[in-house]
Structure 1
Amino acid sequence: MFVHEYGNPDDPTVILLAPMMMSGEDIYRMMSPHFANSYHIIAPDQGGHGDAGAYVSADDECAQLKHYLVKQGITDIELVYGSSLGVAVGWRLFLDNGFTIHHAWFDGVLFRESAPFFEFAFRTMFKQKKRSPAKRSVDASKGLEDKYGHERAVMMTRNFNRITESDIDAICHTCCNYPLAKLTPDQQARLHLDYGSKDPTFRQSRRGIATCMPNVGITIRKGYPHCGYVAAHTKEYVKEIEEFIRA
């Protein structure tokens, strides 16, 4: 992990945890212009991305982030935002009693203790793309462009070219194996979940959500794929996040 830090440390702290194929700097550039208020933003490059080393595990990534936060004296956090892969670290931080997390917003998370079929399918798909000469030579993957637009597809393709097959194995395992825990009513009130209606992770998460957090707030974005709404409507999405913080 490599941690990017932006803004005034005296402002409320917001942690932005990016999905696969986005660095911390990428998610900062995407979301930060739309915040109405001033925040002290921490946006890490997770393993396999940006200036970080290899991706080993979510526990390893979280341990590195916690070490950084404690060293900087940051234990009071206004918001932890996680998208897809980023939720794995955000979830662990949210459950850690050593930190005060006032709000958490997680998008596109597969809340299951084990999803071996999805892990195998995701790993196979990403490795096939990694090994394809045609895929490696393009500036933007056509599939990504169709889902997230040209600009984001160029950025995500660039990041994917840096990810190794070993990173893919570890990332796919992380995204499909969650240490579930029953949340208290207070924790559920401080957490918001977001999904696209076309996102298969929501269907696979229903049982885990019903068991561990039956009263959590959930928004389903009709017609959108995995983490697709934030890409298409970033300004409106960030406004909703700030409304959640104020509420």
Structure 2
Amino acid sequence: MDVTRKEVPLYGQVQTHITLRARAHEDAEFYVVARGSRMTHVTAAERLDDGLTLCFTVPGHDREEAVSVTPYICIKGQIEPCEGMVSLEYFRDAAQEAAEYLSASPDHLESQSYKEVLERFPTLVRASDEELPGELLDHNEKSIQLRPSSGDLKQLDENIVQAVANMDYPQQWKNTDSQSEEGNEMGDAENHPKEHLLHLATRLGLVHLTCFLMHQREPQRCHTMFQAPAA
């Protein structure tokens, strides 16, 4: 048994395949269980036309680590593992780093905060085929070293949304009305108008993140997670 992807970003949401050695009954259903140190994820798998390949969407996870991946077969209500276990490594990519950085500073945003984000994450600039502002070029040594971007700004934007949705993002991200009033009062006093993450996402051209933040009502996870049983 083999898996086509050995590494996936923390937020998951990518398809991968497991190749079985033997065909199963036509009426069989398949599931994949990914076990980490603190969480166990269960997701359905689809058997492809060749009868030997299982396709499933990798769920998001809570930490960088290797997890065990085991396919299960269900026939007439009987569930059992099939053909052993493979390993899958979760890692932080540029989108995950950006989402974590943004989630850590929703109360400290100003109209010029987007420059700090571009300084810290030049990947955003490269993805949109722009150049860093002149005043930021002398400070590139402070930038976090990220894995190379795997797509354009649109793809990076979508991945940031997936990373954000996989996190327990703070309540402040949604309280736009109350924050606006408080921020404006502080801005008038300090002559540095406060902004929301929504404003920052707009300035950075992150359309998908902007839409995501506008439509949030309650903290949520984008995948089903189960607590791993105690050893």
What TM-score does the superposition give when structure 2 sets the normalisation length?
Answer: 0.29
Q: Quick check: which one's strand share is greater?
A: 2
Tell me the TM-score normalized by structure 1: 0.28
More helix by share: 1
Say which one has the larger Rg: 2
